[in-house]
């Protein structure tokens, strides 16, 4: 089914009109554009995950294992025993509804089961109905129900209509984080072989080759060479990108999309120019060539397996510390999980210290991993960068806070500080749509696949709506972000909702503005777009 | 249906008390046994609940960061929204528990055509504050029935609460406030389509129960005027473990007592435990210092991860590495031999 027109998409959406039927009596409808395809049997098998088979969500029969119910109930019990969050969140929701209209999927669909409270209730009702006496006794009166195959289908539909963005958790008076419930629900579904292809393929590539798209080491190098060609053409300088260099001071890890996918590549060019400017002793690894981690969208175990290679590589290369590129969920993993699941950091790593400013990044003293925006903001604050913000004058910029770096890390000021120094036109979107209240791109947590486009445009609508506001008010034509998934997903989102707005990383703008000794006079930005004023001169 | 079921349950309780006390004269059952049983259930249930939560570990530090992290010294970090140490966590929690910080953030989204608008929406916060704080103060006020002599601060509280000297006996402000809060919370559940849709009977039940509790209490104080001396005799008997039921306390008192008994007994087994549970919430009660202080996961500590190591990877891509001029790590082979 074709994607509905922009003005048609939200016609049916009404936040104040709820279905007649009780939600326990409604079933999801697997309409094309609103769900992701199932994992392919070979991929599932290669990853050693349960129940590989050919199936699709729109099939009547999902070919669940015979004892699926037992598996699921055991999995729930197991997660309750291992995660206080899960157990607690099943108990303490008062259904106050404060979270109800905070989810971008609810705002874009009006589907009540996309209210975070009800999304959690899909699981809670089963926990009550299967494990508690009151639930068994009072059933629906207590919000309890039994686990059936229809419930599994519903879980699949709605737990893959949550991008684990945590916006609901900001507003909940008890901090109930529906993202946490989604994470565990997906984990539980995996145990009976209910999964999606778009997540599992990158996971397999990552596990077997080292990065999501399966770029082999020589291809990575070739891609980088292409980017260096472009840089040379634009600036007259050809920086060096050291690969797998033992004894370098810094290991740089970024999402692999930055090596090859437009517009991530421009951000990559920005990094490279910056490191060249600084004369940094750094290296990139073609083995640990992935900062992103789709394992995080699969299970905690898978996340750990895929992330382990970073410390492992840092140890082998004997670097002193690790610098991380612009990525959302990579940073959720690095910030909130890395140290716990893979620490303590290898002994050769030291507390990160900027070789240029001497700043010691005390806040990263255990993990030894610094965010590139922290690094660059520190450089600018110390006056170490010569910047010409007018080179970004063709852009009127706004900044999108990525869910993960916002609500799972709290990095708000660093990228803004950089933006204010590298461009002259910077406008914030409305306060209720940025920082901790930021809206998801609508395609996070591994849902950035084409077959899911309608839902992505719906989920991304609140974000796009805020961009449209500053576009109309201030003429904003560029959306900066610090997330690789954002760079990939906001681009089609803008095309659909606010076509005049382009998308790119913060370090792309740094790369544009950086005045590098020995460079030629720039006439275009890193995308070969003419700089403001350059055309007239030429 | 949900509303009706909850209402019927609460009305049923009144009938039960009327039958039990009014008709069958089971004073000891309703005046002593039920309250004791309820209180015990409350204690045991709550301890069980907390122990049960505490038994599950907190494997990851998953603070929801609602403000700037502590990073570079010249960037102002948000101590309350992104606490960097345990002291700041205490502040954050205090704000959450005492002032309902997160609820205060509440917004309302409105869709007009294809434009979204957000309005501030503090009503829920106000209703919740009115209700919870009044309830708390009323509870404290009741300690005058359980103490002899009555401590000074409770007398003061009493005086402040009835400061306006309206009517006789003086009307308590908290009585008005709790009614207002409760009415708002109930109406909201009935009128707001979204909240209505998500509400179970078990969401209406405690509301009606507390309504019953408040109304019976107010009837007793302002209209039906039970004999306070006898009531205090009974309550003191209960707390001193020498229970006795004096004659002549009105039926309404037993209704009130029964409501509170049901409420406390119901507390640990229902959503009402949110009051205690909030303290356990890992998105709020942990500092955002993840990269500075390592958090231990009990079920992973000492269990090394399994993954494709560099040397295995190098074996796989050796030709490609050599062809493209990327270094080969000889250590991989030394280690093997
Ligand atoms: S805000 Fe929290 S307590 Fe209220 S309904 Fe949502 S999850 Fe439940
Ligand atoms: S985590 Fe985000 S996507 Fe998921 S329910 Fe909450 S607000 Fe919606």
Which pLDDT tens digit goes with each residue over B313-336?
999 999 999 999 999 999 999 855
Closest residue to B53, CB basis, from A88, A222, A304: A88
- Chain B, 22 to 61: residues with Cβ < 8 Å from chain A are 49, 52-61
Angle value at C-alpha A138, between B215 and B33, nearest 5 degrees: 55
Residue nearest to atom 4 of ligand 1 (CA): A96
Average pLDDT of the residues in B250-275: 96
Q: Is A185 in the pocket of ligand 2 (CB under 6 A)?
A: no
- Residue B164 — very low, low, confident or very high, per pLDDT cuts 50/70/90? confident
Q: CA torsion sign, B323 to B324 to B327 to B328?
A: negative
Decide if B64 touches A, using CB distance below 8 A: yes
Rounded Cα–Cα distance for residues A229 and A242 (Å) = 16
Choose from A10, A76, A340 for mutation: most chain B CBs within 10 A. Answer: A340
CA A269 remoteness from chain centre: 21
CA B47 → CA A513, B33, B43, distances in Å? 61, 21, 6
pLDDT tens figures, B188-199? 999 999 999 999
The first and second tokens of residue A486, run together, are: 């954002």
How many Cβ atoms are within 10 Å of B241's Cβ, its own excluded?
Answer: 7
pLDDT at A535: 64
List all residues of chain A from 132 to 171 with a beta carbon under 8 Å from chain B. 134, 138, 140-143, 166, 169-171
Determine whether the shortest distance from the Cβ of A177 to ligand 2 is under 6 A: no
The reply to whether residue A16 touches residue B194, judged by beta carbons under 8 angstroms, is yes
Half-sphere exposure in the Cβ direction for A314 (13 Å, CA): 26
Cα A6 to Cα A107, A332, A429, A493, A494: the distances in Å are 15, 32, 21, 11, 11
* pLDDT tens digits along B104-125: 999 999 999 999 999 989 999 9
Taking only residues 113 to 132 of chain A, the set having a beta carbon closer than 8 angstroms to any beta carbon of chain B reads: 115, 117-118, 121
Any atom of ligand 2 within 6 Å of the Cβ of A284:
no
Whether residue B148 is predicted with pLDDT greater than 90 in this model: the reply is no
Q: Is A98 in the pocket of ligand 1 (CB under 6 A)?
A: yes
Query: How much is the average pLDDT of B7-27?
Result: 95
Q: Which residues of A touch B5 (CB under 8 A)?
A: 141
All residues at 6 or more sequence positions from A85 whose CB lies less than 8 Å from its CB, including other chains: A177, A180, B58, B62, B282, B283
Nearest CA in chain A to B6: A141
B295: closest chain A residue by CA: A340
Considering only CA atoms, which residue is closest to atom 7 of ligand 1?
A: A117
DSSP string, A374-441: HHHHHHHHTT---B-GGGGTT--EEEEPPHHHHHTT---HHHHHHHHHH-S-B-PPPGGGSGGGPPP-
CB B189 within 8 A of CB B208: no
> How far is A197 from A64, CA to CA, in rounded Å?
17
Tokens 């209704």, residue? Answer: B255
For ligand 1, atom 3, name the residue with the nearest CA: A93
Distance A103 CA to ligand 2 centre (A): 5
Q: How far apart are CA A263 and CA B214, in angstroms?
A: 62
Which residues of chain B does A243 touch, with a Cβ-Cβ cutoff of 8 Å?
326-327
To test the pocket of ligand 2, the residue of A100, A118, A160, A166 to mutate (highest count of ligand atoms within 8 Å of its CB) is A166
Distance of CA A51 to the CA centre of its chain: 28
Torsion of CA A360, A364, A368, A372, to 10 degrees: -80
- Cβ of B52 within 8 Å of Cβ of A87? The answer is yes
Q: How many A×B Cβ pairs under 8 Å?
A: 325
Chain A, nearest residue to B319 by Cα: A218
Of A505, A436, A527, the C-alpha closest to A254 is A505
- Judging by beta carbons within 10 Å of its beta carbon (0-12, 13-18, 19+), is residue A219 exposed, middle or buried? middle
The ligand 1 atom nearest the CA atom of A115: 6
**Mean pLDDT value of segment B208-218:** 97
In which residue are the tokens 């445009």 written?
A457
Residue B232: phi and psi, rounded to 5, are -65, -35
Q: By CA distance, what is A92's nearest residue in B?
A: B274
Distance CA B199, CA B204 (A): 7
Determine, for residues A374 and B78 on separate chains, whether the beta-carbon distance falls below 8 Å: no
What residue's CA is closest to ligand 1, atom 8? A93
Proportion of chain B above pLDDT 90, given as a percent: 87
**Residue A269 in tokens:** 């060019």
Ligand 1 centroid to Cα of residue A485, in Å, is: 28
Among A302, A234, A312, smallest CA distance to A530 is for A234
**A20 → chain B, closest CA residue:** B197
Smallest Cβ–Cβ distance between A216 and the set B107, B282, B320 belongs to: B320
Element (DSSP H or E) covering residue A481 = strand A478-481
Which numbered atom of ligand 1 lies nearest the CA of A175? 2
B294 contact partners, CB below 8 Å, separation of at least 6: A339, A340, A343, A344, A366
Q: Would an 8 Å CB–CB cutoff place A47 in contact with chain B?
A: no
- Residue tagged 């000074």 (tokens): B152
Residue-wise burial string across B59-86, b where 16 or more C-beta atoms lie within 10 A, e elsewhere: bbbbbbbbbbbbbbeebebbbebbbbee
- Using pLDDT thresholds of 50, 70 and 90, give the confidence band for residue B225: confident
Report how far residue A396's alpha carbon sits from residue B77's, in angstroms, rounded to the nearest whole number: 28
Q: Reply yes or no on whether the pLDDT at B298 is more than 60.
A: yes
Chain B nearest-CA distance from A63, in A, is 30
Task: Give dist(CA B74, CA A381) in Å, integer.
Answer: 9
State residue A232's pLDDT score: 97
Q: Tell me, what's the pLDDT at B168?
A: 79
Nearest to B119 by CA among A111, A467, A174, A101: A101
Alpha-carbon distance of B67 to B81, in angstroms, equals 5
Contact A364 B292 (CB under 8 A): yes
Strand pairing class (A250-253; A369-371): unpaired
Residue B140 neighbours by CB distance under 10 Å: 15
Angle, helix A178-190 to helix A149-159, in steps of 10 degrees: 130
**Torsional sign, CA B75, B78, B79, B84:** negative
Mean pLDDT value across chain B: 94
Residues 6 or more apart in contact with residue A249 via CB below 8 angstroms: A280, A281, A282, A319, A320, A321, A355
Strands (E), A247-368: 250-253, 282-284, 321-324
Q: Which two tokens stand for residue A410?
A: 């709290």
Contact criterion met (CB < 8 Å) for B193 and A166: no
Closest CA–CA distance from residue B321 to any residue of chain A (Å): 6
CB distance from A386 to chain B under 8 Å? no
Cβ under 8 Å to B: A residues 5-34: 6-7, 9-10, 13-19, 23
Sign of CA dihedral B100, B101, B104, B110: negative
Q: Please list, in sequence order, all residues whose beta carbon lies within 8 angstroms of the beta carbon of residue A337, skipping any fewer than 6 positions away.
A: A296, A303, A304, A307, B60
Per CB-CB distance under 8 Å, the chain A contacts of B280 are 84, 88
Determine the pLDDT at residue B335. Answer: 59
Phi-psi bin for A144: left (phi > 0), alpha (psi -120 to 50), beta? Answer: beta
Q: B294 — contact with chain A (CB < 8 Å)?
A: yes
> How far apart (Å, rounded) are the C-alpha atoms in residues A420 and A415?
9
The DSSP code for A29 is -
Distance of CA B303 from the midpoint of ligand 1 (Å): 36
Q: Do B283 and A142 touch (CB under 8 A)?
A: no
Alpha carbons B65 and B71: distance in angstroms, whole number: 13
Please tell me if the CB atom of residue A373 comes closer than 6 angstroms to any atom of ligand 1. Answer: no
**Which chain B residues contact residue A207 at CB under 8 A?**
307-308
Closest CB to B305: pick one of A85, A217, A304.
A304
Q: Kindly give the confidence (pLDDT) of every residue in chain A, 538 residues in length, as a single tens digit, with 9 standing for 90 and above.
A: 589 999 999 999 999 999 999 999 999 999 999 999 999 999 999 999 999 999 999 999 999 999 999 999 999 999 999 999 999 999 999 999 999 999 999 999 999 999 999 999 999 999 999 999 999 999 999 999 999 999 999 999 999 999 999 999 999 999 999 999 999 999 999 999 999 999 999 999 999 999 999 999 999 999 999 999 999 999 999 999 999 999 999 999 999 999 889 999 999 999 999 999 999 999 999 999 999 999 999 999 999 999 999 999 999 999 999 999 999 999 999 999 999 999 999 999 999 999 999 999 999 999 999 999 999 999 999 999 999 999 999 999 999 999 999 999 999 999 999 999 999 999 999 999 999 999 999 999 999 999 999 999 999 999 999 999 999 999 999 999 999 999 999 999 999 999 999 999 999 999 999 999 999 999 999 999 999 987 665 5
The predicted structure's pLDDT at residue A284: 97
Using DSSP's 3-state secondary structure scheme, residue B184 falls into helix
Chain B residues lying within 8 Å of A169, measured CB to CB: 64, 283
Question: Is the separation of the CB atoms in B204 and B2 below 8 Å?
Answer: yes
SS3 A360: strand
pLDDT reported for residue A534 = 74
Q: What is the ipTM for the molecules in this complex?
A: 0.95
B110/B132 Cα distance (integer angstroms): 29
Query: Does A44 sit in the ligand 1 pocket, CB within 6 Å?
Result: no
Taking chain B, what is the end-to-end CA distance rounded to the nearest angstrom? Answer: 76
How big is the CA angle at A273 (ends A267 and A274), to the nearest 5 degrees? 90
Quick one: angle between helices B2-17 and B201-218, nearest 10? 40
The answer to whether residue A87 neighbours chain B at the CB level (below 8 Å) is yes
DSSP state of A518: T
Q: What is the pLDDT of residues A448-498, one digit of tens each?
A: 999 999 999 999 999 999 999 999 999 999 999 999 999 999 999 999 999
Query: Which tokens hold the place of A498?
Result: 């606010």
Listed by number, the residues of chain A in 402-431 with a beta carbon closer than 8 Å to a beta carbon of chain B are 406-414, 417, 430
């Amino acid at each position: 089914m074709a994607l509905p027109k922009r003005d048609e998409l939200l016609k049916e959406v009404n936040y104040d009109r709820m279905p007649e039927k009780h939600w326990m009596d409604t079933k999801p409808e697997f309409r094309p554009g609103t769900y992701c395809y199932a994992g392919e049997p070979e991929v599932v098998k290669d990853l050693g995950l349960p129940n590989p088979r050919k199936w699709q969500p729109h099939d009547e029969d999902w070919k669940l294992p015979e004892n699926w119910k037992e598996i699921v109930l055991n999995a729930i019990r197991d997660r309750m025993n291992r995660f206080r969050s899960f157990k607690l969140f099943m108990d303490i929701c008062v259904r106050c509804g404060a979270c109800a209209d905070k989810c971008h999927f609810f705002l874009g669909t009006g589907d009540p089961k996309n209210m975070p409270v009800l999304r959690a209730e899909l699981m809670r009702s089963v926990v009550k109905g299967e494990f508690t006496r009151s639930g068994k006794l009072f059933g629906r009166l207590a919000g309890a129900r039994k686990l059936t195959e229809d419930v599994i289908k519903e879980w699949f539909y709605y737990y893959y209509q949550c991008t684990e963005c945590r916006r609901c958790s900001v507003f909940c008076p008890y901090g109930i984080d529906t993202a946490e419930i989604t994470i565990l629900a997906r984990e539980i579904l995996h145990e009976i072989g209910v999964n999606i292809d778009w997540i599992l393929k990158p996971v397999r590539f990552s596990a077997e080759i080292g990065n999501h798209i399966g770029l082999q080491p020589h291809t990575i190098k070739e891609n980088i060479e292409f980017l260096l060609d472009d840089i040379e053409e634009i600036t007259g300088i050809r920086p060096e990108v050291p690969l797998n260099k033992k004894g370098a001071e810094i290991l740089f890890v970024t999402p692999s999309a930055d090596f090859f996918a437009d517009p991530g590549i421009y951000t990559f060019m920005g990094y490279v120019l910056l490191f060249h400017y600084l004369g940094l002793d750094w290296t990139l690894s073609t083995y640990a060539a992935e900062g992103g981690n789709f394992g995080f969208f699969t299970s905690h175990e898978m996340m750990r397996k895929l992330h382990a290679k970073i410390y492992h590589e840092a140890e082998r290369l004997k670097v002193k510390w690790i610098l991380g590129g612009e990525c959302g969920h990579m940073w959720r993993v690095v910030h909130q999980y890395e140290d716990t699941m893979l620490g303590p950091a290898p002994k050769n790593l030291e507390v990160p210290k900027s070789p240029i400013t001497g700043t010691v990044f005390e806040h990263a003293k255990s993990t030894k991993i610094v965010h590139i925006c922290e690094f660059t903001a520190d450089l600018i604050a110390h006056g170490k960068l010569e910047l010409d913000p007018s080179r970004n004058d063709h852009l009127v910029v706004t900044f999108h806070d990525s869910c993960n770096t916002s609500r799972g890390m709290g990095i708000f000021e660093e990228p803004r500080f950089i933006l204010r120094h590298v461009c002259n036109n910077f406008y914030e979107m409305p306060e209720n749509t940025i920082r901790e209240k930021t809206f998801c791109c609508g395609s996070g947590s591994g849902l950035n696949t084409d077959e899911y486009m309608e839902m992505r445009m719906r989920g991304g609508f609140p974000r796009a709506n805020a961009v449209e506001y500053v576009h109309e008010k201030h003429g904003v034509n560029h959306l900066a972000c610090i997330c690789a998934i954002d760079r990939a997903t906001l681009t089609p989102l803008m095309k659909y909702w606010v076509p005049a707005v382009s998308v790119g990383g913060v370090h792309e703008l740094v790369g544009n503005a950086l005045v590098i000794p020995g460079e030629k006079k720039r006439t275009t930005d890193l995308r070969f777009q003419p700089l403001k004023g350059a055309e007239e001169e030429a | 249906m949900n509303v009706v079921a909850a209402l019927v349950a609460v009305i049923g309780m009144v009938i039960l008390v009327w039958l039990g006390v009014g008709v069958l004269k089971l004073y000891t059952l309703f005046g002593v046994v039920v309250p004791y049983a309820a209180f015990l259930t409350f204690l045991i249930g709550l301890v069980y609940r907390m122990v049960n939560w505490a038994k599950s570990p907190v494997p990851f530090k998953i603070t929801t960061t609602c403000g700037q992290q502590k990073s570079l010294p010249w960037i102002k970090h948000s101590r309350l929204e992104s606490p960097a140490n345990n002291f700041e966590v205490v502040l954050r929690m205090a704000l959450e528990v005492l002032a309902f910080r997160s609820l205060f953030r509440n917004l309302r989204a409105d869709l007009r055509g294809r434009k979204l608008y957000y309005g501030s929406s503090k009503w829920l916060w106000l209703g919740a504050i009115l209700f919870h704080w009044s309830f708390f103060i009323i509870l404290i006020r009741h300690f005058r029935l359980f103490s002899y002599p009555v401590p000074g601060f409770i007398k003061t509280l009493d005086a402040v609460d009835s400061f306006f000297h309206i009517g006789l006996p003086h009307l308590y402000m908290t009585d008005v406030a709790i009614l207002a809060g409760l009415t708002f919370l109930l109406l909201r559940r009935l009128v707001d389509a979204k909240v209505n849709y998500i509400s179970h009977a078990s969401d209406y039940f405690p509301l009606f129960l507390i309504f019953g509790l408040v109304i019976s209490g107010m009837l007793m104080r302002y209209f039906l005027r039970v004999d306070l001396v006898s009531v205090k005799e009974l309550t003191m008997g209960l707390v001193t473990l020498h229970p006795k039921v004096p004659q002549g306390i009105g039926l309404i008192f037993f209704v009130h007592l029964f409501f509170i008994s049901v409420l406390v007994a119901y507390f640990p087994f229902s959503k009402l435990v949110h009051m205690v549970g909030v303290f356990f919430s890992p998105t709020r009660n942990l500092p955002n210092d993840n990269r500075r202080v390592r958090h231990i996961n009990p079920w992973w500590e000492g269990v090394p991860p399994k993954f494709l190591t560099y040397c295995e990877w190098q074996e796989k891509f050796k030709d490609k590495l050599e062809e493209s001029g990327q270094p080969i790590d000889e250590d991989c082979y030394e280690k093997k031999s």
